[in-house]
């Protein structure tokens, strides 16, 4: 077993998953604005420190994706954030892309940037304690999209990023997100997501990336948010597994789904159904942002000094997702 593979297994084994706390300052400001809390570096740190020091970190959260601001912050006792995460036996990670920009010659699509200077940034993040990284490509579904141009260029960027990350002894999360926006059917989502993931792995193999040291972070197969033809959770599970079996090489050890606009309960329920249905060798877990944090954020915003109460809300959500990652969740546990 390689060192990279052992990092993946530590992050995703035994019902553990990933807390995606890598919101940019702009995104975090929107989240805090939505609950009427001022977005200052202190408040952003306070909320994240509350989550990172909760008891479920050691039992449910194998890794935390951080943002550049957060990985460099210190808590009042002098520990830095990576040390706080490591003290819970969880692994610090870092988002390293610089965001999705308009794709040249296809203005309705996006390409993720951030390869320039990445090698040096990775060395700095490694010194700060990061052992895995994240890069997100985004694709929208319409009659004409995602285009071949978008599928190829984002796959190429994800592969170049992954090669640089492994060169620096870190695990790359490969996140090709086919967005829920639109009125497309689940079948369209299945077709397009399969095409996107296959192209990503073609490029990863071409760039000599060690697939045993990679985590795939895909969307689940869902009908578009505006579609009138929604599918059941069991259909989500069947179609998602069908997609991954046909698109992902068997050497890949783990898949950590993004929640992508689902509610907290939907994201948990669908993950649970996927794991009940899963007959593959892949570990199927979670890498959730909002679907792990939203209830805790709402609770915290009422009294940012009530750390214990906020942690109780977060611990519940983390526990539910950990059970779902083992196919052991049920709705009556939510009460």
Q: Kindly report the CATH number assigned to the domain that includes residue 149.
A: 3.20.20.70
Compute CA distances 291 → 133, 217, 227, whole Å. 20, 15, 22
- Of 23, 192, 217, 269, the active-site residue reads 217
For 306-320, what is the mean pLDDT? 98
Average pLDDT rounded to a whole number, residues 27-32: 94
Whether residue 195 is predicted with pLDDT greater than 90 in this model: the reply is yes
pLDDT on residue 335:
79
Catalytic residue among 23, 109, 175, 203: 175
For the cut 80, the answer to whether the pLDDT of residue 16 exceeds it is yes
- Helix H segments across 67-185? 68-71, 81-87, 118-128, 148-167
> Would you say residue 68 has pLDDT above 80?
yes
> Per the confidence metrics, is the pTM higher than 0.95?
yes
Mean pLDDT across 102-125: 98
pLDDT above 90: percentage of residues in the chain:
97
Q: How confident is the model at residue 270 (pLDDT cuts 50, 70, 90)?
A: very high
- Please state the domain count of the chain: 1
The pLDDT value given to residue 104 = 97
217 annotated active-site: yes
Rounded mean pLDDT of 174-184? 96
Whether pLDDT at 118 is above 90: yes
* Res 13 pLDDT > 90: yes
Q: How confident is the model at residue 77 (pLDDT cuts 50, 70, 90)?
A: confident
Q: What are phi and psi of 89, to 5 degrees?
A: 65, 30
SS3 state at 229: coil
Query: What mean pLDDT do residues 67-88 have?
Result: 95
Q: CA 59, CA 76: separation in Å to the nearest integer?
A: 25
Residue 1 pLDDT exceeds 90: no
* Structural domain of 313: 3-334
* Closest by Cα among 26, 98, 15 to 62: 15
Count of H helices and E strands in the chain?
A: 13, 10
Residue 156: predicted pLDDT: 98
Residue 120 DSSP SS3: helix
């Amino acid at each position: 077993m390689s060192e990279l593979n052992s990092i993946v297994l530590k992050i995703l084994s035994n019902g553990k998953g990933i807390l995606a706390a890598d919101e940019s300052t702009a995104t975090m400001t929107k989240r805090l604005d939505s609950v009427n809390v001022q977005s200052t570096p202190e408040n952003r740190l306070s909320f994240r420190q509350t989550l990172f020091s909760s008891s479920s970190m050691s039992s449910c959260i194998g890794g935390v994706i951080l943002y550049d601001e957060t990985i460099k912050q210190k808590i009042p006792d002098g520990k830095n954030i990576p040390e706080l995460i490591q003290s819970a036996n969880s692994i610090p990670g870092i988002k390293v892309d610089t965001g999705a920009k308009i794709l040249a010659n296809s203005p309705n699509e996006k390409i993720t940037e951030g390869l320039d200077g990445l090698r040096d940034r990775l060395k700095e993040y490694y010194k700060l304690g990061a052992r895995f990284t994240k890069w997100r490509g985004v694709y929208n579904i319409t009659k004409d999209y995602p285009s071949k141009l978008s599928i190829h260029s984002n796959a190429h960027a994800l592969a170049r990023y992954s090669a640089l990350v492994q060169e620096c002894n870190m695990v790359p999360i490969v996140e090709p997100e086919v967005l829920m926006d639109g009125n497309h059917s689940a079948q369209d989502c299945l077709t397009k997501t399969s095409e996107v993931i296959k192209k990503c792995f073609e490029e990863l193999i071409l760039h000599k990336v060690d697939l045993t040291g990679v985590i795939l972070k895909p969307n689940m197969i869902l009908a578009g948010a505006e579609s009138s033809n929604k599918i059941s959770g069991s259909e989500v599970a069947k179609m998602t597994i069908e997609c991954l079996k046909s698109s992902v090489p068997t050497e890949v050890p783990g898949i950590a789904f993004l929640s992508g606009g689902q509610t907290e309960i939907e994201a948990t329920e669908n993950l649970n159904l996927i794991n009940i249905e899963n007959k593959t060798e892949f570990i199927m877990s979670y890498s959730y942002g909002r679907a792990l944090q939203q209830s805790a954020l709402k609770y915290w915003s009422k009294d940012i000094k009530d750390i214990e109460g906020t942690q109780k809300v977060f611990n519940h959500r983390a526990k539910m997702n950990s059970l779902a990652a083992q196919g052991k969740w049920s709705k009556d546990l939510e009460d």
